[in-house]
Structure 1
Amino acid sequence: MALLADYGICSREAGAGVLSVGPDRPSADAYKRWWTGRWRSPVAAVIPNFHLPMRGLELKNRTTTEDIKKLRLITAVKTPYLPDGRFDLEAYDSLINMQIDNGAEGVIVGGTTGEGQLMSWDEHIMLIGHTVNCFGTEIKVIGNTGSNSTREAVLATEQGFAVGMHAALHINPYYGKTSLQGLVHHFESVLTMGPTIIYNVPSRTGQDIPPPVIKTLSQNLNMAGVKECVGNDRIKGYSEEGIVTWSGNDDQCHDARWTFGASGVISVASNLVPGLVRDLMFQGKNPSLNSKLMPLIEWLFREPNPIGLNTALAQLGVARPVFRLPYVPLPLERRVEFVNIVQKLGRENLVGDKDVRVLDDDDFTLVSRY
């Protein structure tokens, strides 16, 4: 009760000054004097989340923010499906094992590439928990628990850390955009819970997270850094300020890493060529390898991600050709083009051990109920 009183919710102490409701009740003036003397309006527009269990002092996760800052290759991993649209966990586990075997240090679970936007929150948290349970000692699990609703972001992040994720990925509120001050309050509401990567991709959210917001948030010890998609000039500015960044653009990640100061990349292409992308991030400047990968990267992003990736993994035989709508496979001519790209890169450099093939339109399943 005392705690609530601090926020103006409890207006008087128990048993004190109760007004009579009978015929002898005070006059209106007396009532006004009593009420004015006893009640005060809440003064804070934002009430601290004192009720959240994740604000306890006990250690919730043994991964520190510094551990996350050291990561160089993080794969935004694909979520594969069964023909009825449910998660294909057997294929998913195989994809994660391929990432571990080829040197990826972390995975984003349920991000844009993993189609978190097509998941219920139950599916979302289940997949994060499954990944932690099966692979959490071998690779860092970063759960996408962001939302355009602060309430949803807080609840999902609380649950994500409760099931053991090592860090959270958070987008800025999309569609229902807010002010810059609103962005700060939104992110501060989730930063209290554990290591966090802020994700800036204005092409999807419709709103840039400008440097002043990031610099304000960087004062929080739980902020690991920024997945930045605006470009390498922005990354250079952050690196000069000592703010950790990961390139969110595969086509720019080589220069971001070796010229502009990025710590690494959060990659889509590494779903397909994790070993080569690791070399790009760890082996120093390698413009020849970067140029070699560019046809694949350009092919991947001709249509909005993850359409290209989903098509490619199906053609490689490492995921079933099942799409949750509204995503649909690339057209036949693009599928033929992918086979040619694989042959030039060398099949051994891509995930899986089956021959790459051109799938027919009838090979794909499109699921609208999932």
Structure 2
Amino acid sequence: MAALLTTNPILSSTDVVSPLRSPLKPFRPAPDSCLRTTRWRSPKAAVIPNFHLPMRSLEVKNRTSVDDIKGLRLITAIKTPYLPDGRFDLEAYDSLMHMQIVNGAEGVIVGGTTGEGQLMSWDEHIMLIGHTVNCFGASVKVIGNTGSNSTREAIHATEQGFAVGMHAALHINPYYGKTSMQGMVSHFETILSMGPTIIYNVPSRTGQDIPPPVIHTVSANPNMAGVKECMGNDRIKDYVNKGVAIWSGNDDECHDARWASGATGVISVASNLVPGLMHEIMFQGKNPLLNSKLMPLIKWLFQEPNPIGLNTALAQLGVIRPVFRLPYVPLPLARRLEFVGIVEALGRENFVGEKDVEVLDDDDFVLVGRY
């Protein structure tokens, strides 16, 4: 640069040489005729249609049809196990998934209430969906819980879930903040545009029922696979009579829902523990005797909010580590003792895992607040 400055009389020592223009042509400002002479105005807002790039059919991994989802009879709301530091225990998760598949589960809900999706970051959520697809997607339908009370978040999570290969999405109605019936319709229609979807109605969790007029409105959407319904078998029967595919969301009602009310099947918590028996309930016809034998286990599971009972049970069976992400804590000792008796009555061979059931002490459990 010093040599250039001494040999080029056009440049002075204070000139800056731009690599984008020749140093032999000094900068000239634009003439006045080129300057803006009108006042700047903000552009008008545009209405953007529902347009989801990740959902182009040729780009989506493991794309499945809505009819493939509608035919599933036993879907397990799979548990998410943890390491002592609160991270996912993928080895235990894979083992639990394998037990579900070999015992006849046709689908799994990943990151649902049972899987504690409410305690996951979205990164964890999508990672676990992708992991499940990559490891087990050829053997079982992977349904990702990508619902949210924010439509924006639900859209983003569902795009990512389908992009990593999930076969269908599970969506709840907006909770806490709630919305109007028309707001529910708009929320679901926006999400249904992305792929096969099961709508989940559980007012005990959301504080708001999804009334039948909303379901009947959105059921016309070709991506509507059906409803996980927790409002009883009368509601289920009414939907079935109108051609809507339904899964019972209540283990204690699923036998009658399937064989008396026409439900397609069940999305089950208990099948984490006894997948073979739940498969028999869903596939082998009416069996009130087996159903009654399962009632003590099912009632025990839900004496505290799910998944507290399930987490405690799987830990005592040695299938997962006794690690809880707060705010969940294990059932008290008296309830843990009850579970041992339930296992003995049903037969240890009907439960997942190979270790003997044991009663864990309070000190055996790890409660994790930061993870």
Q: Same fold (TM over 0.5)?
A: yes
| Counterpart amino acid of residue 225 in structure 2 | A
Match of 1:127 in 2: 128
Match of 2:38 in 1: 20
Q: Structure 1 residue 19: deviation in Å? A: 6.1
d(CA) in 2 for partners of 1:302 and 1:142? 27
Match of 1:143 in 2: 144
Q: Structure 1 residue 169: deviation in Å? A: 0.3
The answer as to 2:261 corresponding to 1:232 is no
d(CA) in 1 for partners of 2:183 and 2:63? 30
Cα distance change on mapping 1:39 and 1:142 into 2, 3 Å: closer
Match of 1:53 in 2: 53
1:275 alignment partner, SS class: helix
| Equivalent runs, 1:1-370 vs 2, <5 Å | 20=38, 47-50=48-51, 52-56=52-56, 58=58, 60=60, 61-370=62-371
1:366 alignment partner, SS class: strand
| Counterpart amino acid of residue 87 in structure 1 | F
Q: Deviations over 1:30-75 (max 9, x none)?
A: x9xxx9xx99786x6xx4223x203535362431000000000000
Q: Is the 8 A contact 2:70 2:245 kept in 1?
A: yes
Q: Deviations over 1:327-368 (max 9, x none)?
A: 000000000000000000000000000000000000000000
d(CA) in 1 for partners of 2:147 and 2:290? 34
2:354 alignment partner, SS class: coil
TM-score, structure 2 as length reference: 0.88
| Counterpart amino acid of residue 58 in structure 2 | E
Cα distance change on mapping 1:162 and 1:39 into 2, 3 Å: closer
Q: Is the 8 A contact 1:250 1:267 kept in 2?
A: yes
2:147 alignment partner, SS class: coil
2:199 alignment partner, SS class: strand
How many aligned residue pairs are there? 335
Q: Structure 1 residue 192: deviation in Å? A: 1.1
Q: Structure 1 residue 189: deviation in Å? A: 1.3
d(CA) in 1 for partners of 2:289 and 2:84? 40
Cα distance change on mapping 1:164 and 1:40 into 2, 3 Å: closer
Cα distance change on mapping 1:218 and 1:347 into 2, 3 Å: same
d(CA) in 1 for partners of 2:324 and 2:309? 11
d(CA) in 1 for partners of 2:85 and 2:150? 29
Q: Is the 8 A contact 1:109 1:143 kept in 2?
A: yes
Q: Deviations over 1:113-145 (max 9, x none)?
A: 000000000000000000000000011100000
d(CA) in 1 for partners of 2:270 and 2:134? 25
| Counterpart amino acid of residue 288 in structure 1 | L
Q: Structure 1 residue 190: deviation in Å? A: 1.2
Q: Deviations over 1:119-174 (max 9, x none)?
A: 00000000000000000001110000000010110000000000000000001100
TM-score, structure 1 as length reference: 0.88
d(CA) in 1 for partners of 2:244 and 2:148? 23
Q: Is the 8 A contact 1:55 1:192 kept in 2?
A: no
| Counterpart amino acid of residue 173 in structure 1 | P
d(CA) in 1 for partners of 2:321 and 2:44? 62
d(CA) in 2 for partners of 1:246 and 1:347? 28
d(CA) in 2 for partners of 1:149 and 1:126? 21
d(CA) in 2 for partners of 1:320 and 1:39? 57
| Counterpart amino acid of residue 134 in structure 1 | C
Q: Structure 1 residue 206: deviation in Å? A: 0.4
Q: Structure 1 residue 193: deviation in Å? A: 1.1
Match of 1:7 in 2: none
Match of 1:3 in 2: none
d(CA) in 2 for partners of 1:20 and 1:290? 78
Q: Deviations over 1:79-126 (max 9, x none)?
A: 000000000000000000000010000000000000000000000000
Q: Structure 1 residue 175: deviation in Å? A: 0.2
| Counterpart amino acid of residue 273 in structure 2 | L
